[in-house]
Structure 1
Amino acid sequence: MTGLRYVYAVCRPFGTPLQAQLTGIGGAPPALLHHHGLVAVVSTVPAADFSEEALKARLEDLDWLAATARAHEGVIDALTTVTTPLPLRLATVFRDDSAVRMMIEAREDHFRQLLDRLGGRVEWGVKVYLEAEPAEATPAPAAKPASGRDYLRSRRAQSHALEEKWQRAEQFARSLHERLTERAEDFRMHRPQNAELSGAAGRNVMNAAYLVPRKRSEEFVELVDRTKDEAPGIRVELTGPWAAYSFTGETAGETAGEAAGEAAGETAGKAAGETVGETAGATVENAGEGR
């Protein structure tokens, strides 16, 4: 077996052509496989990289994983501009086109229900961070050694000040979330990002995804922009519009793919496993393993 069929997403037929220079994993342009009134967006990938055994090793290679995730996400982004795609999990592969068609038939009703629900909608990501205090250029010299009691008092005061800042950030995040849900049809609260993996400054207080009709996206973005200067020391980040990753199925657990995605940035994080559809329950479908 030299090649496998990699599936990026499932969608309905669309008339607008994809951009001419679009390439997927391995540099080849993605193809459209039509079946039962649905379309699987596919490309051929080498079995040497995507067979079940090969992936066990590849998923430990964060550079390869991040590059693959970016290529995967590039195809999804292009699809999002012309249709509503249902993204599948990174490294969802099948033996051949017949196996892809069998997958579509098995999940046809599920796909149609999701497409009915998500059509004309996109996902926006909103993160709230408590920014770190700026470090002093040179520490002020102590007038005299502090006693044990003074030291403990100082530590309690520092801890109390940090707790107050954290509570203020959480209160701000709750207020922002309430306002955003008034303009969104649905939302998902993801676990806070690990700063060491994501590289983002500060402590992540809120990590949320919102399902927003395209026609209301400008209003949604304007609302987020207006909040960015409301609370000193608190940073709000907006990402999107994405395909509706967070609303296509179950949330994936902590995996090497997700960790690599965080390390590579927001785009790779989406592709590497924040949220996936049920069809991609097995990393390698050609082996016949389902969830």
Structure 2
Amino acid sequence: MITYLYAVGRDLERVPDVGSGGVAGGALRLVSEAGLQAVVSDVDREAFADLDEHREDLAWLAAVARAHHGVVEAVGRDHAVAPLALATVYLDDDRVRAVLRESHDAFAAVLDRVDGRDEWGVKAYLRPGVAKASAGAERPSSGAAYLRARREALREGNAAVAAAEREADEIDAAVAALAVESRRHPPQDRSLTGRPEQMVLNGAYLVERSATGELRALVEELARTGSVDLELTGPWVPYSFAGGAT
């Protein structure tokens, strides 16, 4: 067996209540060192011996991700937490203790950064029908006319996308001004969003819990007055702002 590391916190007195346990149902426990506590469980060494191969197994990856995020979310409900990346494993608990010592200052900086704050996501999408030729338009009688119409539709579509991207920049700036920190991730593909519309903003924002109401009101106002569809997600454990710990 080897040790799977989910998250690091401070002042953790017991493991979170996760009915299904950790990855592969492993029992959770705490490993303490240098004033920090790591939430860990045992996993089978062979199962994690070749992670590159396992990453091609979508069912395995999904099961690990569900268990991992379930544990991290449970810890983060009541404590500041530095979440680790999916499938972070070490040979044993002693190696985890060494990591807590060696990366103590980095973990402490992350915990200070996220304490009392949540991550929120703001996603913006083109409105349905934008950047598409009118479905009700009559087909031109000649091939040349059809090509001209298609080129014109593409120009109009490109202009609409450019306008939406400029609006996304303005939305990002407005939300970032309310946040403590912000990250702008690449827009997700339609296969990941499950929506037919193109995403033009995929922002993450670290927001004081006391400002949650203000954030919701801001996004509602931006959605009401803007020309893109907005989606507010969260609150989340601040994965986007936990970098640099290991």
The number of residue pairs the alignment matches comes to 244
Match of 1:175 in 2: 170
Deviation at 1:20, TM superposition (A): 5.7
**8 A Cα contact 2:32 2:38, kept in partner:** yes
Is 2:203 the counterpart of 1:208? Answer: yes
Contact 2:182–2:203, Cα closer than 8 Å, also in 1: yes
**Which residue matches 1:46?**
44
Q: Does 1:87 align with 2:83?
A: yes
Alignment-mate amino acid for residue 12 of structure 1:
R
Aligned equivalents of 2:225, 2:27: Cα separation in 1: 45
Counterpart CA distance in 2 for 1:202 and 1:230 is 19
Q: CA RMSD in A?
A: 2.3
Equivalent residue runs for 1:89-128 within 5 Å: 89-128=85-124
What are the ranges of 5 or more consecutive residues in structure 2 without an aligned counterpart? none
Aligned equivalent of 2:229 = 235
Give the deviation of 1:218 after TM superposition: 2.3
Partners of 1:22 and 1:184 in 2: CA distance: 34
User: Corresponding residue for 1:247?
Assistant: 241
1:15 CA displacement: 5.1
Q: 1:129 corresponds to which letter in structure 2? A: Y
Q: Deviations over 1:255-290 (max 9, x none)?
A: xxxxxxxxxxxxxxxxxxxxxx552xxxxxxxxxxx
**Residue 289 of structure 1 aligns with which residue?**
none
Determine helix, strand or coil for the equivalent of 1:182: helix
Residue ranges of structure 1 left out of the alignment (5+ in a row): 250-276, 280-291
Aligned to 1:159: 154
Equivalent-residue separation in structure 1 for 2:14 and 2:218 (angstroms): 31
State the match for 2:213 in structure 1.
Answer: 218
1:254-273 correspondence runs (5 A): none
1:152: Cα distance to partner?
3.0
TM-score (norm 2): 0.90
Whole-angstrom CA distance in 1 between matches of 2:64 and 2:229 = 30
Three-state SS of the structure 1 residue aligned to 2:174 is helix
Q: TM-score, normalised by structure 1?
A: 0.77
- Once residues 229 and 162 of structure 1 are traced to their aligned partners in structure 2, the CA distance between those partners, rounded to angstroms, is 23
| Aligned partners of 2:8 and 2:36 also within 8 Å | yes
> Relative to structure 1, is the Cα distance of residues 26 and 17 closer, same or farther in structure 2, using a 3 angstrom cutoff?
closer
For 1:59, the equivalent position in structure 2 comes to 55
Cα deviation, 1:154-184, whole Å, max 9, x if unaligned, reads 1222012212321221232122112212210
